[in-house]
């Protein structure tokens, strides 16, 4: 046998055999090609960077991050198949350094003796500690392996910087309801991998309910459909009828009138406007509707944070603190307990004094920056800490505010006469307005003397 034959591996077939039916439906229905892949058009649509790289076989190391059920593992397998690479898989939860070194050594031998590249897929890569991630660096750097890491966490915070710098980062987004409906329909019709070998009639509202309550997670949607199909007795005609009631039981949620994208955005709009309009009862009703419909608690909490900053603002600065605390608590505890901190923040914001002065102020300043000439930093405000700064005149003439009575000194902080912040007399901001007006009068005296 020739030396090359020692490392020869069978070529992957164009059509993979159907997976065994004991696997969950989501595993059986994994897409095998880019043509079958649903969603992520922002990176896989025609002409998009990742699609072009896959089709041209110019893939380097990648990191996919996004919520569960968005196709991270499936996409890695498709890339390995399409680029004719050997696919190896490790788990950030289960694999150790010995497992990693074994796979890396085999990949080096394979590349040297057959020229065939290896794609190493590391699921939950953020679970590897720094030392484990460092083991991958030399082989990623030398091209022995093409790494594809998958994580539900932001890699810029949870993956080592050297590994991130050597990888292209792609964010996978939750699938839309339409995309989930497409996957569910495909599973109902596929006789080999899906449920097409069964006689099933699924009502449109049942499929829509599964798609909505799956929260962008294809795995959750498909597995809920399988539960519905396998736990429903066929009728006299031998047909399994999946109704809305069956779908509700299968995904363990009761349907609510929240049946289309407009209703979704209309409800959150009503929720925000009720808080802005100081009606806690209306705000609580819309909050309850979203909770009952299975809305993502983070989605609700983010809108509460925005409302606290935009509509309450400096009239009651504690609103933003409480809103952020509610966001953190909701992420930490999840449903059903998350309803309590979300309700607390909702009531607080709805009943707080309102001011949008900060919102108007930053937008006015941004517009000035975009449209006007950029102002240079005045000499006395420039950094004077580095060598040679004082010789350039940086920092000369600056007065330290804490060295003056009331910890305030009137001096030029901008080099131009600009006014963006207009405080209101609402709540706490009434006192802020008194201070600002007094200080501005003293600033004006300094400008007149200049």
CATH class for domain 40-171? Answer: alpha beta
Q: Helices (DSSP H) in 83-203: which residue ranges?
A: 97-114, 130-142, 155-158, 161-165, 177-189
40-171 shares its CATH topology with 261-351: no
Distance CA 247, CA 180 (A): 14
Determine which helix (DSSP H) or strand (DSSP E) holds 121, and give its type and residue range. Answer: strand 118-123
Q: Which fold has domain 376-449?
A: post-AAA+ oligomerization domain-like (1.10.3710)
| Domain ranges (residues) in the chain | 40-171, 177-251, 261-351, 376-449
Structure tokens belonging to residue 54 = 């896959």
Q: Which fold has domain 177-251?
A: Helicase, Ruva Protein; domain 3 (1.10.8)
Structure tokens belonging to residue 57 = 């076989």
Structure tokens belonging to residue 17 = 């055999």
The answer, yes or no, to whether the previous bond of 336 is cis (omega within 30 of 0) is yes
Residue 313 has what DSSP assignment?
G
- Residue 435, pLDDT score: 84
Q: Are 141 and 166 in contact (CB under 8 A)?
A: yes
Q: pTM (2 decimals)?
A: 0.55
Q: Which residue is associated with the tokens 């597995």? A: 223
Taking 70 as the pLDDT cut, the residues of the chain under it are 1-21, 252-263, 373, 387-389, 391, 450
- Residue 406, pLDDT score: 84
pLDDT per position as a tens digit, 124-155: 998 898 888 989 999 998 889 999 999 988 88
Report the residue count for the chain.
450
Q: Which residue is associated with the tokens 């795995």? A: 219
- Residue 253, pLDDT score: 57
Distance CA 83, CA 117 (A): 9
Distance CA 69, CA 450 (A): 64
- Residue 436, pLDDT score: 82
**CATH classification for the domain delimited by 261-351, as one of 1.20.272.10, 2.40.110.10, 3.40.30.10, 1.25.40.10:** 1.20.272.10
- Residue 218, pLDDT score: 94
């Amino acid at each position: 046998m020739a030396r090359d034959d020692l490392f020869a591996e069978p070529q992957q077939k164009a059509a993979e055999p159907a997976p065994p039916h004991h696997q969950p439906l989501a595993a059986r229905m994994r897409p095998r090609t880019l043509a079958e892949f649903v969603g992520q058009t922002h990176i896989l649509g025609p002409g998009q960077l990742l699609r072009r790289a896959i089709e041209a076989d110019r893939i380097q190391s990648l990191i996919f991050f996004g919520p569960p059920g968005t196709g991270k593992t499936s996409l890695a397998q498709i890339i390995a198949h399409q680029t004719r690479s050997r696919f190896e898989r490790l788990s950030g939860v289960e694999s150790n350094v010995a497992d990693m070194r074994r796979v890396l050594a085999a990949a080096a031998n394979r590349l040297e003796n057959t020229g065939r590249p290896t794609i190493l897929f590391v699921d939950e890569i953020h679970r590897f500690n720094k030392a484990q991630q460092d083991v991958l660096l030399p082989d990623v750097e030398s091209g022995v392996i093409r790494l594809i890491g998958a994580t539900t966490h932001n890699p810029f915070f949870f993956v080592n910087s050297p590994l991130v710098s050597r990888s292209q980062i792609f964010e996978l987004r939750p699938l839309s309801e339409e995309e989930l409906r497409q996957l569910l329909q495909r599973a109902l019709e596929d006789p080999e991998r899906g449920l097409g070998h069964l006689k099933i009639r699924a009502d449109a509202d049942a499929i829509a309910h599964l798609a909505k309550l799956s929260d962008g997670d294809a795995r959750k949607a498909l597995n809920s459909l399988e539960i519905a199909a396998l736990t429903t007795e066929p009728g006299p005609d031998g047909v399994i009828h999946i109704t809305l009631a069956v779908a509700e039981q299968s995904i363990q949620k009761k349907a609510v009138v929240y049946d289309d994208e407009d209703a979704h955005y209309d409800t959150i709009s009503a929720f925000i406007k009720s808080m802005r309009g100081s009606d806690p009862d209306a705000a609580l009703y819309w909050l309850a509707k979203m909770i009952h419909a299975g809305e993502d608690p983070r989605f609700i909490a983010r809108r509460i944070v925005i409302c606290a900053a935009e509509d309450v603002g400096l009239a009651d600065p504690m609103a933003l603190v409480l809103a952020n605390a509610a966001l953190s608590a909701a992420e930490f505890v999840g449903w059903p307990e998350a309803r309590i901190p979300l309700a607390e923040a909702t009531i607080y914001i709805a009943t707080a004094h309102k001011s949008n002065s900060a919102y108007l102020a930053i937008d006015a300043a941004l517009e000035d920056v975009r449209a006007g000439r950029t102002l240079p930093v005045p000499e006395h405000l420039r950094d004077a800490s580095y060598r040679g700064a004082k010789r350039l005149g940086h920092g000369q003439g600056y007065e330290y505010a804490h060295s003056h009575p009331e910890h305030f000194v009137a001096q030029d902080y901008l080099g131009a006469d600009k006014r963006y912040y207009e405080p209101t007399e609402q709540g706490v901001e009434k006192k802020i307005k008194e201070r600002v007006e007094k200080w501005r009068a003293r600033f004006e005296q300094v400008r007149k003397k200049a």
